[in-house]
Amino acid sequence: MADALEEVLVQIADGRSVDWARAEALVRDPADLALLAELQVIAHLSDTHRTAVDDAAAAVPPAAVEGRSTLSMSRAGTSWGKYRLLGHVGEGAFGDVYRAHDAHLHRDLAIKLLQVRGVSRDELPARLLREAKDLARVRHTNVVTVYGVEDHAGQVGLCMEFIQGQTLDARARAEGPLSADEAMVVGRAVCRGLSAIHQAGLLHRDVKAKNVMREWGGRIVLMDLGAGLDTSDAGRVARARAAGTPLCMAPEVLLDGRSSVASDVYSTGVLLYFLVTGRYPIEGESADALRRRHAEGRRVPLGERRPDLPDAFVRVVEKALARDPEERYGTANELLAALADGPAAARPASLWEQAPSVSGLVLSVGTALIVLGAINTRYFDMTLGRADFANEGPADWLRFGLLSCVAPLVVLGLGISVVSLAVALRHLAVSAWEPARRADTVLRDLLHRLQLDTVPACSGLALVLSGATLALAWWSSLPLLQSLLSIFPDDVSTAPAARLAFLGPAHSAAAEDYRLWFAVSTFVCLAVWVPVVRLAGRRRERVNRFVAAGGAVIFALSLALLDFPYRLLVQNALEVATWQGQECFVLGERASNVLLFCPTVPPPRNRTVSIASPDLQRRGMSGALFNRIAEAK
């Protein structure tokens, strides 16, 4: 009777026990009886292969697994039905996988067998056969092909193609993380297979590296629909428990069991993340820890673990891993399209394509150097009172701007080297030493509790640190800074001799300390703001404009204080001359006159002298302008 068969189908779909004796009594037609027998096999198989896991799902005790493994291995070389078992290739909590040979079709295949001793047939879960039915609906080169399901000697088996290769998990652990290009090849293949599964009305719910095989010929094959879900049955979807591997589950699945196409997209993002890092975006010792970290949004951005990856690839993975399902790619095909665009986005631009950006960079740097050179030249001219005699232009400003940046660049280079070494050592320690890994986790937890992994908190901290460093440099260099500013409203020509003492050789150490302090201040400004900019870019957030403006002002002030006295304190060598028996320096020329600075004569120390004056003798060599300033009157 059709009603009896329909009732059996509903009971199997709901995972309930079926009264087979009653069903057989109600069915009379031989064709219906044959169908009922097939449904009985289905019921025996389906729940047996249950891979659904929620946080309370209990694993098989190690002793039981070990014992069954020994039993399973002992079957290698024996027969199961019409198949000869060639070797044991894998096992799980509910069944074992064998490589087998079909002598009739002369081919090898994989058979997943279920151990059923001690369990009556009408009590067997129906999951394994449901997996076979689900997979049989999918025909795609990137999804494992299922041949059928058979029942022999109290056991049921899922027969599928045998993939000669290794799982991506084994590949990644044996050979290390993949490159972005390699991961994109895998990701595209997985997306194609996943798209075929979705188009068949199914969810996979357990996309992970252990369920993806790489055939020796290179084909990528998505395996194991044991946790899969038929989306055509809305009631069943609503009742379904969280299924899959917690480390790979989407937040909404782990938190409230809601599976969807978007959750499969998320798991594919986790797969890509794992392939290039060997780690997971969110890690925890238990399902509860994972739930807590998902709820708190404590995912480690891909760029932090692999800063060398192309930005285009990182953006694709980050979008696939978005916490909100609405912000992810809507389908596997959308993720496939994004990955297909990856190589073009990651392709190095040609020289012609790079020319505009390179030209812009060169122009920006050149302009900045000219501005710096103009600042310290302007202060130099004002201090020496030679503004009307100076004849230097942009080329000179560029030269002095470049020279003034040598010391900061040295400090910056040393700082970058130290930071790079520290980062490399951290990565090495975290990857190879368990205590370091735990310490790193504790540190990340602390940063998260302090909210220092957010853009507002990180930018606020950067503003405080850069401001504090500038204040420290100011305070440490205050005596020299006061001396630099105390020359005005006079200049070196008319200022009292006591006010000029800081320019002499006896105070050269103070001048060096001054530049060092402000070079460090400038470097710290860069060091604390670059991570903020990167974090904001990764999270697509804006830094508060007032905080950003404050940071820019601090950096500009630090750089200006470093640069403005450069020529006066460092690059102050000028042409030496003798005038009326006094050692002087040529500050500049105008028409037929020269402006001399004679440090040992009474103020005014600047004298305008005719080039043709017999008292003027130009020696044709340069000397430090303030070597004899201590003798100033």
DSSP 157-169: EEEEEPP-EEEHH
Domain 169-346 maps to which CATH number in 3.40.50.2000, 1.10.287.3510, 1.10.10.10, 1.10.510.10?
A: 1.10.510.10
What secondary structure letter does DSSP report for 179? P
- Phi (first) and psi of residue 495, to 5 degrees: -65, 150
In contact, 517 and 465? CB cutoff 8 Å: no
Cα 100 to Cα 78, 112, 120, 538: the distances in Å are 10, 10, 26, 49
Q: Do 142 and 193 form a contact (C-beta atoms < 8 A)? A: yes
Residues 6+ apart with CB under 8 A from 65: 91, 93
At 24, which helix (H) or strand (E)? Answer: helix 20-26
Cβ 61 vs Cβ 68: under 8 Å? no
Topology of domain 2-161 in CATH is Phosphorylase Kinase; domain 1 (3.30.200)
Residue 354 has what pLDDT? 57
| Nearest partner of 277 among 147, 390, 180, judged by Cα | 180
Mean pLDDT (10-residue bins), the chain, 633 residues:
60 60 66 62 48 32 34 63 86 72 88 60 52 71 84 80 88 87 93 91 88 88 68 48 74 84 94 93 84 83 86 91 90 91 50 65 86 90 88 88 83 78 80 77 74 82 94 92 80 87 87 89 88 76 88 91 88 91 91 91 92 90 88 80
Residues 6+ apart with CB under 8 A from 517: 472, 473, 476, 477
Report the 3 state secondary structure along 547-588.
HHHHHHHHHHHHHHHHHCCHHHHCCCEEEEEEECCEEEEEEE
The C-alpha R_g of the chain, in whole angstroms, comes to 38
CB 207 within 8 Å of CB 222: yes
How far is residue 339's CA from residue 607's CA, in Å, rounded to a whole number?
74
What is the DSSP secondary structure assignment for residue 148, as one 8-state letter? Answer: E
224, 248 in Cβ contact below 8 A? no
Place of tokens 């379904």: 240
Q: Could you check whether the bond before residue 325 is cis, i.e. omega within 30 degrees of 0?
A: no
Question: ω before 614 within 30° of 0 (cis)?
Answer: no
Alpha helices by DSSP H, 296-341: 302-305, 311-320, 332-340
**The one-letter amino acid at 382:** M
